Amino acid sequence: MVNAIVDTNLERAAQIKGHFLPSRNVKITDDYQQVLEDSQIQAVIIGTPPNLHEKMTLDALKAGKHVFCEKPFVLTLEQANAILDALKGTNLKFMLGFNYRFIPHFVKMANLLKKGAIGKPVIAKSVLFSRTSPSSTFTGFHLNSALGGGALFEMGCHHIDLLMWFFRKNTRGLRQHLEH
């Protein structure tokens, strides 16, 4: 259930509500802190540019909210560690928006690799191809590396995540995987 839409562009937020949730009573605001203070809201989706993910995620966790954070995650390993540290000792759920893990042919490949059905791969290649066109929601942050943009960060992270997921060896957590 969607209870609120937060956007710095209130007109865009109203259009989203009108298009997807026309008959629902959904709060529209440009202040995400209002959502974090609402005890009726249990979870938030953070779909901002990556340079805002750390602060917004930490604020949401501090407010006791579960978090779905769009990829790319954050800009530095220190920011990722700060979020992982904030999750320790809580029962809060955190998920990154790596939706490629739910695409049926990628799920099948992961299962085949996990079962050893195709032997033991020693090398992998991933090709990035995407059709893009300007849209009314395009804000340009994708083109600014200071905000977390750029092709590798924006789309390449899907391929890096898939390769890490395909070839995982019972690792748990981003920190453990990066330390090995």
Closest alpha carbon to 48 in 68, 76, 25: 68
90: left (phi over 0), alpha (psi -120 to 50) or beta: beta
pLDDT at 170 exceeding the cut of 60: no
Question: Each residue of 38-70: pLDDT tens digit?
Answer: 999 999 999 998 899 999 999 999 999 999 999
* CATH 3.40.50.720 applies to domain 4-96: yes
Residue whose token pair is 């995620």: 57
Summarize pLDDT for 21-34 with one digit per residue, the tens: 999 999 999 999 99
Residues 104-123 have a mean pLDDT of 88
Paired tokens of 169? 């060896």
Phi, psi of 67 (to 5 degrees): -130, 130
Helix or strand (DSSP H, E) at 59: helix 53-62
Q: What SS3 state is found at 168? A: coil
pTM of the model: 0.78
Q: What is the pLDDT of residue 123?
A: 83
How many whole angstroms separate alpha carbon 52 and alpha carbon 58? 10
Name residues whose C-beta falls within 8 Å of residue 146's C-beta, 6 or more positions apart in sequence.
Answer: 51
pLDDT tens-digit profile of 140-155?
Answer: 666 666 667 666 677 7
pLDDT score recorded for residue 177: 43
Q: What is the pLDDT at residue 95?
A: 94
Segment 95-119 shows an average pLDDT of: 90
Rounded CA separation 178/70 (Å): 20
55 — phi, psi (to 5°)?
A: -60, -45
pLDDT (average), residues 99-128: 88
The ranges assigned to domains in the chain are 4-96, 99-179
